[in-house]
Homo-oligomer: A and B are copies of this chain.
Amino acid sequence: MSPQVLKARKGEETRAQILEAAVQQASEAGFESLTIGTLAERTGLSKSGLFAHFGSRTDLQIAALDESSRRFTEAVFLPALKVPRGLKRLRALFGNWIVWPERAKLRGSCPMQAASAEYDDQPGPMRVAVAERQRHLARELAKAVQLAVDSGELRAGTDAGQFVFEMFGLVLACYHTQRLLGDAGARARALAGFERLVDANRATAGKPASRPAAARR
């Protein structure tokens, strides 16, 4: 391997190591806690080394947001794509979503959710980036709802945007009541809420199909 290739590979590894530390920190203490200084401390790298990878604090924050997004997709969407499209896939998406921070080995809460709370009233590039990713997520979820309409499981005329809004609410309530109810209690409530939402939009209203054991209460 040429010295240039080795150097490039080493650079990539360092960058990945910095981003891993940044996502962990954002999960534990939010994106506003990310500075070149705190990350230098956390990774054991020099500040100038960090600057070589991320020219500014904002660059670092945006890169950490992108890496969080990538890991969200990996933990929530990719496994759901192996499940048949329609209600099964929608249910898999929801189930993956409420446990993803844990599955991605994050020690704190969902970084996307942290970013959302931090920047909703703070104009600037992070607010723009967060809103863009939230819009993208809403569109992808709406497509999954539409597939369950197309499969005939949800009734024609189901408002996909409304469905996604309510799914989102259940996930947020789950994250926020975990400290109150503990993980198992919060997740059982979220799953029960999701099944109610599905039942309200079923093609054959009033005839709830069999539910996965986890959602029975």
Contact = CB atoms under 8 A, between A and B. Distances in A.
Interface of A: 27-30, 32, 107-109, 113-114, 116-118, 120-122, 127, 131, 134-135, 138, 159, 161-162, 165-166, 168-180, 186, 189-190, 192-193, 196-197, 199-200, 206, 217
Going nearest first, the 5 A-B pairs with the smallest beta carbon separation are A169-B169, A169-B173, A117-B117, A172-B172, A108-B121
B193 A165 contact: yes
The DSSP consensus for interface residues of chain A is: helix
A114 B119 CA distance: 11
A168 B162 contact: no
Nearest to A161: B189
From A29, A117, A169, A193, residue with most partner B Cβ within 10 Å: A169
30 contacts: A27-B121, A28-B121, A107-B121, A109-B117, A109-B120, A113-B117, A114-B117, A117-B118, A117-B176, A120-B176, A120-B178, A120-B179, A127-B179, A138-B177, A161-B189, A162-B192, A162-B193, A165-B177, A166-B173, A166-B196, A168-B177, A169-B169, A169-B170, A169-B172, A169-B193, A172-B172, A172-B173, A172-B176, A196-B200, A206-B206
